[in-house]
Amino acid sequence: MMSSPGDAPVTVVLGLGNPVRYDDAVGLRTAEEVARLLEADPVPGVRVAISTRAGLELVDLLTGAARAIIIDCLAPAESQPGRIHRLTPEDVAGSTRLIGAHDVSVGDALALARVAGVPMPETIEIYAVEVGDIDRIEEGLSPDVARAVSTLARRIHRQLMSLPGTAVDRFPA
């Protein structure tokens, strides 16, 4: 869903994941569900994107947005599959794309972009769903993680509906 022609999106909902690594696809599937909810009940100025990219590559997807909601998986040592966490960019250790051994964290990437003068969102929220199996090469989600998709998508949609200063307020049609 895009904002009005010529306007930069006010909010980007970004789902991250790998569609063939089982529960790792939870961010992708949740963003797709948010997009379906927005089709039925639109919120002006919201753009939904999905990506398998990480680190500095996320900068391109978030440039110019005022707000970002990022959805990914979380694989802690003692996981409770389907449990949802609300995090900040500083909290994302353990996510397969938000931080990795061969890349920089999303927080570092955004800080670097800001230093370089690239307009980054002022507000960034991260929703992470604990997963059970991200090593299995298979499309789909485990039952507990699949249940979290609709729960989290509805939560994000309600949050978008209640945002003060939506695109309608900032960019009248």
Residue 27, domain member (yes or no): yes
pTM summary value: 0.83
Specify the pLDDT at position 110. 78
Tell me what the pLDDT averaged over the chain comes to: 83
The half-sphere exposure of 55 on its side-chain side, counting CA atoms within 13 A, is: 7
Residue 88, domain member (yes or no): yes
Residue 94, domain member (yes or no): yes
Given pLDDT bands bounded at 50, 70 and 90, which one contains residue 47?
very high
Q: What is the mean pLDDT of residues 42-65?
A: 89
Q: What is the mean pLDDT of residues 15-33?
A: 95
Specify the pLDDT at position 101. 42
Are 106 and 70 in contact by the 8 Å Cβ rule? The answer is: yes
Instruction: Please give the structure tokens belonging to residue 70.
Output: 């990022």
What percent of the chain clears pLDDT 70, i.e. is strictly above it?
A: 81
Domain count within the chain: 1
DSSP 166: -
Residue 5, domain member (yes or no): no
Strands of 4-120, DSSP E: 11-16, 46-51, 67-74, 84-87
Residue 136, domain member (yes or no): yes
Residue 170, domain member (yes or no): no
Q: How many residues does the chain have?
A: 173
Residue 150, domain member (yes or no): yes
Looking up residue 115, the CATH number of its domain turns out to be 3.40.50.1450
Specify the pLDDT at position 7. 58
Domain that holds residue 147: 11-163
Residue 46 scores a pLDDT above 50? yes
Residue 109, domain member (yes or no): yes
Q: What is the mean pLDDT of residues 44-48?
A: 95
Specify the pLDDT at position 36. 98
Q: Give residue-wise pLDDT tens across range 115-163.
A: 999 999 989 999 999 999 888 898 999 999 999 999 999 999 999 999 7
